[in-house]
Amino acid sequence: MLVHEQSTPVETHRSQRTGWLRAATLGANDGLISTSSLVVGVASATPTRAAILLAAVSALVAGALAMAAGEYVSVSSQADAEKADLGRERSELATSPRAERAELAEIYVDRGLSSDLAAQVAAQLMSHDALGAHARDELGIHERTRAHPVQAAGASAASFAVGAAPPTILAALLPLEYLTLGVVGVTLALLLLLGAEAARLGGASRTRGALRVVFWGAVAMACTAAVGHLAGAVL
């Protein structure tokens, strides 16, 4: 008789997406809003194709690199802090394992286990992976949520470039008399989609997520348009 082994289903939780989702969403929104705002502002001040297109391409390249650098530095700082905590924990495990086992057991007692059961759990987990047990339950560091600077930097740069691409393409293709209206319309529509999708992935309200992104995008473009008009009048 054949016995079929049942595999444990692998669950996917939204918290596992936290790192790359934050970087990708921030990058795409920033790329779309900042580049569209710059195109609208320059178009309001200097309605020439060359100036508008140069501003858009420069915003795409500089913004993508700046987002990558900023995200890399930020997440690297978090990764350094995690490494320092793990190094200290590794040293404490080597010098005073009993105290560390008692500390881990106390954590489980605080979570609701009896003292005897907590001591057994702590002993078994430490015999299997002492550092992993303390990293997870004492420090709150888990492999799925650990800082990954290169991944975050790449996601930020790529998503910024993707977000900045539509206004850049429109700046190259649309007739100048329709450029501002076209960029504003396309940007607001894309912000609706981005906000709703980011909210869905994060488990939040799609409507609220979409509207708040659209609101701030509209404010940004309105402000740069006003600045462009003022600059154009002075020039």
CB 179 within 8 A of CB 170: yes
Query: How much is the average pLDDT of 86-90?
Result: 79
Task: Answer whether residue 90 is part of any domain.
Answer: yes
Task: Answer whether residue 6 is part of any domain.
Answer: no
Quick one: tokens of 151?
């991944």
Indicate the residue type of 227.
Answer: V
150 pLDDT above the threshold of 50: yes
The pLDDT mean for the chain works out to: 81
Q: Residue 28's CB: how many other CB atoms inside 10 A?
A: 24
35 — pLDDT class (breaks 50, 70, 90): very high
Listed residue (229, 230, 226, 217) closest to 36, CA to CA: 217
Task: Answer whether residue 13 is part of any domain.
Answer: no
Task: Answer whether residue 7 is part of any domain.
Answer: no
pLDDT at 181: 94
Task: Answer whether residue 8 is part of any domain.
Answer: no
**Per-residue pLDDT reduced to its tens digit, 154-163:** 888 899 999 9
Coarse DSSP helix, strand, coil percentages of the chain, rounded to the nearest 5 percent: 85, 0, 15
Indicate the residue type of 30.
Answer: D
Listed residue (157, 149, 156, 150) closest to 79, CA to CA: 149
Task: Answer whether residue 105 is part of any domain.
Answer: yes
- Round to whole Å and give the CA distance between 167 and 179: 9
Task: Answer whether residue 133 is part of any domain.
Answer: yes
Listed residue (87, 78, 72, 38) closest to 225, CA to CA: 38
Q: Which of 17-31, 56-70, 85-99, 187-201 has the lowest mean pLDDT?
A: 17-31
CB 201 within 8 A of CB 15: no
38 — phi, psi (to 5°)? -65, -40
Q: What is the pTM of this model?
A: 0.68
123 pLDDT above the threshold of 90: no
CB 191 within 8 A of CB 199: no
- Residue by residue, DSSP assigns 72-141 as HHHHHHHHHHHHHHHHHHHHHHHH-HHHHHHHHHHHHHHTT--HHHHHHHHHHHHHHHHHHHHHHHTS--
Percent share of the chain, pLDDT over 70: 83
- Round to whole Å and give the CA distance between 76 and 195: 27
- Round to whole Å and give the CA distance between 21 and 81: 22
Give the range of the structural domain holding residue 27, as residue numbers without chain letter. Answer: 19-234
Q: Quote the distance between the C-alpha of residue 194 and its chain's center.
A: 13
The residue with tokens 């690199």 is 65
Task: Answer whether residue 1 is part of any domain.
Answer: no
Higher pLDDT, residue 166 or 139: 166
5 pLDDT above the threshold of 50: no
Count of structural domains within the chain: 1
**Per-residue pLDDT reduced to its tens digit, 206-226:** 888 888 889 999 999 999 999
